[in-house]
Amino acid sequence: MAISFVFDERVEAFRAQVAQTLADALPPHIRSQVADERIDLTRADQAAWQSKLDSLGWGGVGLPPESGGPGWTDEEYFVFLRELGRADAPRPPLYGLKMVAPTLVRFGTPEQITRYLPDITAGRTFWCQAFSEPNAGSDLAAMTCPAKKTEDGYEITGSKTWISDAHHADLMFGLFRTSSTGRKQEGITALVVDMKSPGITVRPLPNYEGTHECNEIFFDQVRVPAANLIGEEGNGWQVAKFLLSVERFDTAEVPRSLATLGRIRNRIAALEEKSGYTAHVQGLRARFARLEIELRALAATECRYVLGTPQEELTGAEPSLLKWIGTELQQDLLELLMDAYGEQAQAGLPIEDAQPGACRPVEGGFAGRAFHRYRVTTIYAGSTEIQKELIARTALGLRT
């Protein structure tokens, strides 16, 4: 039985409009890549799709109307994200639109909002987020990359690592240390850095299965103007906490997991039609049933947090809970998908065998790539262990 949330007639009419528009507007070659669990779309494809959404008035999803948002209710926004997943459409740009844009609305100056947001919503600029360092991943407060104060801004010499999409990005939203006194959470400052600045070197960190998402970045006396300071100097920890709470809600990726569940259902049905109700099919169906129940529970929990709980009643643990459960479910679902395709799942390795436009040699060859690629989900945006610690502190009041 499919997972669905039915709203009133107005919202359901909106759902039907979104579904039809996506069916008409989404280019088949982009749809097929998303259906293959790809997240490494080319910049050109990402820009084209975001530009199309912007032309429909949907470029600023998640933002308030005065900042370029479409003016939807929470229910309409919730339904829109669900329909994106159902249509195998790319998710909204994570770093620019879903993370940086709300942070600029919250902490940026009017000039910064006017300067950056229109290009984000129209898909004209791409962003990366530079938090992690070689010795400071999930322990963000341990970061040391310095930004030295100058007469007209800051000068950065140091490095960042595991920076997703830096090779596509025009701009970076980064955290840098401007002071080493006081608690380690103090003295952190948020800056926007032009990726074309002299002194920046980007080196790829290829994934095991051959995709290129992450990079390491080196700064050699990179100059950043004072106008690129986000919030107040030394207040980067508060800025980062806000941005990460937004990210952790999104990393649950319930719409994408629902789409994956549908692909698994279809594959198991095809196996049963071909070979009958074998012991292998029985095992796959049992695992499928358990994961569907868990995904139903997660989807209901997300719905309750987003739509049914007043903001003042949220404890701060909700993004961490969704991130923890959602990313573990992603891994379990993709493991089941890989097992359902068996040896065929490995046909897409290495990635050169499945580049956009190439013929897929074996049906299901994408499943092995997806399984290996998504092993990282329980690490990025704060590892599962960090999420559990945050839940213990904020929801249970425990000191760890």
Tell me the per-residue pLDDT of 95-139, one tens digit each, with 9 for 90 and over.
Answer: 999 999 999 999 999 999 999 999 999 999 999 999 999 887 767
Shared domain for 280 and 383, answered yes or no, is yes
Using CA atoms, how far apart are residues 264 and 268, in angstroms rounded to an integer? 6
Domain finish residue from 213, 239, 265:
239
pLDDT tens over the chain, length 400 residues: 445 567 889 999 999 999 999 999 999 999 998 988 877 788 999 999 999 999 999 999 989 999 999 999 989 998 999 999 999 999 888 899 999 999 999 999 999 999 999 999 999 999 999 999 988 776 788 899 999 999 999 999 999 999 999 999 999 999 999 999 888 889 999 999 999 999 999 999 987 777 788 999 999 999 999 999 999 999 999 998 888 777 666 778 899 999 999 999 999 999 999 999 999 999 999 999 999 999 999 998 888 887 876 665 666 788 888 999 999 999 999 999 999 999 888 776 655 444 555 444 457 778 888 888 888 888 887 788 888 888 888 877 766 5
Q: What is the pLDDT of residue 310?
A: 67
Shared domain for 134 and 172, answered yes or no, is yes
Shared domain for 377 and 267, answered yes or no, is yes
- Contact status, residue 205 vs residue 214, Cβ threshold 8 Å: yes
Shared domain for 274 and 363, answered yes or no, is yes
H/E run at residue 191: strand 188-194
Give the range of the structural domain holding residue 216, as residue numbers without chain letter: 127-239
CA 226, 232, 236, 242 dihedral sign is: negative
Of residues 146, 22, 134, the one with CA closest to residue 85 = 22
Q: What is the pLDDT of residue 119?
A: 97
Q: Indicate the pTM of the whole model.
A: 0.85
Using CA atoms, how far apart are residues 5 and 269, in angstroms rounded to an integer? 24
Residue 112 lies in a domain: no
Residue type, 101: A
Q: What is the pLDDT of residue 352?
A: 47
Residue 119 lies in a domain: no
Q: What is the pLDDT of residue 349?
A: 62
Residue 223 lies in a domain: yes
Shared domain for 314 and 208, answered yes or no, is no
State the CB neighbour count (10 A cutoff) for residue 152: 11
> Which pair of tokens denotes residue 30?
């982009």
Backbone angles phi, psi at 163, to 5 degrees: -95, 110
Using CA atoms, how far apart are residues 315 and 97, in angstroms rounded to an integer? 25
Using CA atoms, how far apart are residues 389 and 321, in angstroms rounded to an integer? 11
For the chain, what is the largest distance between any 2 Cα atoms, rounded to a whole number of angstroms?
75
Residue 3 lies in a domain: no
- Contact status, residue 173 vs residue 126, Cβ threshold 8 Å: no
Q: What is the pLDDT of residue 383?
A: 83
Q: What is the pLDDT of residue 243?
A: 85
Q: What is the pLDDT of residue 386?
A: 84
Cα Rg of the chain, angstroms: 22
Those residues whose C-beta lies under 8 Å from the C-beta of residue 142, and which sit 6 or more positions away, are 133, 135, 136, 184
Residue type, 270: A
Burial of 256 (0-12, 13-18, 19+ CB in 10 A): buried
